[in-house]
Structure 1
Amino acid sequence: MSELALRSLAGLVMVMIALLAEWLGGTVFALFVAAAATGIYYEWSRLVKGWGVGWHLAGFAYALLPALALLWVRERAGVPAGAKGFELVLWAFIVTWSADIGAYFTGRTFGGLKLAPSISPNKTISGLVGGLIAATLLGGIWAQSTHLSWPWLVLAPLFALASAGGDLFESWLKRKAGVKDSGSLIPGHGGVLDRLDGLIPVATLTGLAVLAGLQ
Structure 2
Amino acid sequence: MTASGRWQDLAARMGSGAVMLGIGLAAVYAGGDVFHVFVAVICGVMIWELVRMLAPDVPAVAWQLGGLAGVVVLVAIYLPPAFALPMLIAPALVGISQLPGNRTLYMVFTLLVLLAGFGMMSVRDDFGFVWMLWLASAVVVTDVAGYFAGRLMGGPKFWPRVSPKKTWSGTVAGWIAAGLVGLIFAWQTKAGFELVGISVAISMASQIGDIAESAVKRKMSVKDASDLIPGHGGLLDRFDGMLGASVFLLLTGRFIAFPPGL
When the two structures are superposed, what TM-score results if normalisation uses the length of structure 2? 0.75
Pairwise mapping of residues 51-130 of structure 1 onto structure 2 (< 5 A)?
Answer: 51-75=101-125, 77=126, 84-130=127-173
Partner residue, 1:81: none
Q: Aligned with 1:211: secondary structure?
A: coil
In 2, Cα distance between the equivalents of 1:153 and 1:40? Answer: 30
Q: Of residues 158, 163, 167 in structure 1, which corresponds to 2:206?
A: 163
Shift in Å, 1:60: 2.4
1:71 deviation in Å?
A: 0.9
Q: Does 2:53 correspond to 1:47?
A: yes
Task: After TM superposition, give the deviation of residue 40 of structure 1 in Å.
Answer: 1.3
Gaps of 5+ in 2: 1-7, 56-99
1:179 paired with 2:229, answer no
User: Percent identity of the aligned residues?
Assistant: 37
Aligned residues: 207
**Residue 42 of structure 2 aligns to which amino acid in structure 1?**
A
Aligned to 1:203: 246
Does the CA contact (< 8 Å) of 1:107 and 1:123 recur in 2? yes
What is the CA deviation profile of residues 114-153 of structure 1, one whole-angstrom value per residue up to 9, with x for unaligned ones? Answer: 1101111111111111111111112321232123333322
Matched, 1:29 2:35: yes
Matched, 1:19 2:25: yes
Contact 1:48 1:56 in 2 (8 A): yes
Give the C-alpha shift of residue 3 in structure 1: 2.5
2:206 and 2:240 in contact (8 A); partners too? yes
AA aligned opposite 1:9: G
User: Which structure would you say has the larger Rg?
Assistant: 2
CA contact (8 A) 2:225 2:234 kept: yes
Q: Structure 1 residues 58 and 200, CA, compared in 2 at 3 Å: closer, same or farther? A: same
Deviations 1:55-113 (A, max 9, x none): 333232121101111111211x2xxxxxx332221111011000000000000100011
The structure showing larger relative contact order (alpha-carbon pairs under 8 Å, at least 6 residues apart) is: 1
Do 2:150 and 2:166's aligned partners in 1 also have CA atoms closer than 8 Å?
Answer: yes
TM-fit CA distance, 1:52: 4.1
- Give the deviation of 1:54 after TM superposition: 3.5
In the alignment, which residue of structure 2 is the partner of 1:138?
181
Distance 1:172 1:52 in 2: 13
